[in-house]
Amino acid sequence: MLGGAATGSLLRRALPDHHLDEHAKDIVRLGAGLVATISALVLGLLISSASSSYEAQRNEVRQMAANLILLDEPTNDLDLSTLRVLEEALVDYDGAVIVVTHDRAFLDRVCTGLLAFHGDGRVVRYASRQQWLAALSSPNTPAAPQSAAEVQRPATEPRRRLSYREQQALAALPAQIDTMEQRRAALERELADPATWKAGRGQGLSRELADLAARIEAAYTEWTKLESRQ
């Protein structure tokens, strides 16, 4: 429309006065309308072509996309607010997510299943980390079946069996770790509260959190060492 109006204005200025009678004006209006119509058609074709190209590219991306995400230690170096955003995004995600992480609190809040590697090639799926801890502390947890190759394997140096004190320590470790994990989650919540820092408690709690993280890591290391000797 703007092109047609501009064309009509130019023609009016260019034509002599004796050509500006009603008949000439009708012709000018017709020409301007024709230009406007052609311009609109060309613009429509350009928009339609661009839209079709965009739709084709979007469909191609969708076909290449997968509904599976693999994450390796995704919580490393994240502050608490960013961690919460990540958790909400994973909870709302429609596909499947496989996560490898040492962050037990993150697992409790996000994961709907846990794959536990018990050694000897045995992998067991649990509904939650609490179920896994309960299975570890249960004396009725079945041992991994031996394969024919393992049965025929020549005997090597026998492993040193757990002493009574070590068995007691191994049985108590899951509950101890769970208690420390709960305390760590509570400390993280307190440190995320600005009132904690205003009250001057932030540095003390940060030191406690760092010490607790080291103790949790040591407890898991000890549990792995004792579990391997059962």
Predicted confidence (pLDDT) per residue in 118-139, tens digit = 767 778 888 887 787 777 776 5
Q: What is the mean pLDDT of the chain?
A: 75
DSSP string over 188-200: HHHHTSHHHHHTT
Task: Compute φ and ψ for 217, nearest 5 degrees.
Answer: -60, -40
The token pair at 90 is: 């994973």
Record: fold of 161-230: Helix Hairpins (1.10.287)
Asked whether the beta carbons of 205 and 196 are under 8 A apart, the reply is yes
From 26, 60, 81, select the one nearest 191 (Cα to Cα): 81
Model confidence pLDDT, tens digit, residues 188-224: 888 888 888 888 888 888 889 889 888 888 888 888 7
Q: How many residues does the chain have?
A: 230
Side-chain half-sphere CA neighbours of 108 within 13 A: 13
Asked whether the beta carbons of 136 and 174 are under 8 A apart, the reply is yes
Give rounded-to-5 percent helix, strand, coil for the chain.
65, 10, 25
Q: What pTM did the predictor assign?
A: 0.37
Model confidence pLDDT, tens digit, residues 5-54: 555 565 556 555 555 566 666 666 676 677 777 777 777 777 776 667 76
Give the per-residue pLDDT at 132: 79
Asked whether the beta carbons of 103 and 185 are under 8 A apart, the reply is no
Which residues, at least 6 apart from 86, have a Cβ–Cβ distance to it below 8 Å?
74, 75, 78
pLDDT band at 65 (very low <50, low <70, confident <90, very high): low
Give the per-residue pLDDT at 171: 87
Q: Give the pairing type, strands 68-72 and 96-100.
A: parallel
Give the per-residue pLDDT at 62: 64
